[in-house]
């Protein structure tokens, strides 16, 4: 059966995402550099070209480095209609940290570049300048989140939302309390999934993602509700956002603070928080 657009895109997804952000930051840096040169000319100031290039490159290089951190933080504190009220204060605090890291990084790069040019960079009054930078950075932080959520929605539409099909009434009456198989519809195709083939599960806002033999299925359900349909002797919650098939855990890598990283037999890795470590001893 020919692959759909989502399946053809998947092998190139990571490279495409990286290329997108590199291109966006490069174009933004080039545009801002041109604006800075024009503004300096209008003000009658003679500014060497290397200076506005340094200003914008230093800023956008640090922003580019912070993109993965913002996305990782959003996975930890997801934003959706159900979680917005609970998680927006965390993101407000994160925007402050984001700005501090951005300013510290770009100032350090500028000091280094100016030193190489035999000059000295002056950031000015740190408190006043940082507040000015924060007003810009909070907009950038929101833009990053908006881009992430829009992309996630696009990928969901491209992938197609899967759902567990209701069993016929006669079969449902004879079915065990915990079904051994799930019939899933995705992109107008139906798949029969054995419960034992689910490697791990991840909460994703209003959805739960199933990792099954190298394939991903996104179902509209909560992690707790779907986990209740699985055998508790085999499946256990290992993180507030993850549950694992204990038979598919290949290695447990201890981390600082009592947390761990689970290496699954399919080659993937998922986090295990300290409060759920006891589940691995079952």
51-67 pLDDT per residue, tens: 999 999 999 999 999 99
Measuring CA to CA, which residue among 70, 77, 69 is closest to residue 241?
Answer: 77
Residue in the block written with tokens 């914008």: 56
At residue 248, the 3 state secondary structure works out as: helix
Q: Tokens for 221, please give them.
A: 């359900």
Residue in the block written with tokens 């996975």: 75
Query: Residue 171's pLDDT is what?
Result: 44
Query: Binning pLDDT at 50, 70 and 90, where does residue 280 land?
Result: confident
Query: Residue 216's pLDDT is what?
Result: 80
Q: Where are the alpha helices (DSSP H) in 191-242?
A: 223-227
Spacing of C-alpha 55 from chain mean position: 28
Percent of the chain with pLDDT over 70: 87
Query: Residue 70's pLDDT is what?
Result: 94
Query: Binning pLDDT at 50, 70 and 90, where does residue 191 land?
Result: confident
At residue 188, the 3 state secondary structure works out as: coil
For residue 2, report the phi and psi dihedrals to the nearest 5 degrees: -65, 150
Domain parsing of the chain, residue ranges: 5-159, 163-281
Q: Tokens for 164, please give them.
A: 């567990």
Query: Residue 174's pLDDT is what?
Result: 47
Domain spanning 163-281, CATH architecture: Beta Barrel (2.40)
At residue 207, the 3 state secondary structure works out as: strand
Query: Residue 109's pLDDT is what?
Result: 95
Q: Where are the alpha helices (DSSP H) in the chain?
A: 5-9, 13-42, 50-76, 84-116, 126-159, 169-174, 223-227
Query: Residue 13's pLDDT is what?
Result: 83
Q: Tokens for 138, please give them.
A: 């909070």
Query: Residue 166's pLDDT is what?
Result: 53
Q: How far apart are CA 201 and CA 72, in angstroms?
A: 17
Q: Where are the alpha helices (DSSP H) in 160-273?
A: 169-174, 223-227
Write the CB contacts of 81 (distance below 8 Å, at least 6 apart in sequence).
206
Percent of the chain with pLDDT over 90: 36
Q: How far apart are CA 59 and CA 53, in angstroms?
A: 10
């Amino acid at each position: 059966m020919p692959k759909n657009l989502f399946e053809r895109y998947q092998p190139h997804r990571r490279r495409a995402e990286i290329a997108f952000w590199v291109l966006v930051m490069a174009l933004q840096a080039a545009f801002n550099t041109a604006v800075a040169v024009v503004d300096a000319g209008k003000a009658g100031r003679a500014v060497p070209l290397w200076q506005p290039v340094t200003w914008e490159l230093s800023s956008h290089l640090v922003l580019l480095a912070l993109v993965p951190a913002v996305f990782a933080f959003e996975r930890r504190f997801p934003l959706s209609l159900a979680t917005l009220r609970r998680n927006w204060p965390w993101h407000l605090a994160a925007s402050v940290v984001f700005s501090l890291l951005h300013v510290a990084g770009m100032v350090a790069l500028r000091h280094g570049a100016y030193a190489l040019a035999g000059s000295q960079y002056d950031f000015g009054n740190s408190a006043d300048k940082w507040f000015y930078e924060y007003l810009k950075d909070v907009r950038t932080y929101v833009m990053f989140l908006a881009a992430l959520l829009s992309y996630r929605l696009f990928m969901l539409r491209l992938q197609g939302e899967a759902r567990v099909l209701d069993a016929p009434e006669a079969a449902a009456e004879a079915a065990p309390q915990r079904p051994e198989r799930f019939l899933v519809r995705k992109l107008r195709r139906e798949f029969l999934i054995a419960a034992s083939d689910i490697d791990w599960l991840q909460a994703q806002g209003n959805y739960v993602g199933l990792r099954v033999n190298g394939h991903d299925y996104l179902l509209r359900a909560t992690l707790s509700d779907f986990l209740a349909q699985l055998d508790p002797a085999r499946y256990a919650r290992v993180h507030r956002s993850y549950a694992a098939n204990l038979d598919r855990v290949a290695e447990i890598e201890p981390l600082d603070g009592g947390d761990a990283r689970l290496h699954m037999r399919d080659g993937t890795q998922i986090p295990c928080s300290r409060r759920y470590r006891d589940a691995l001893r079952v």
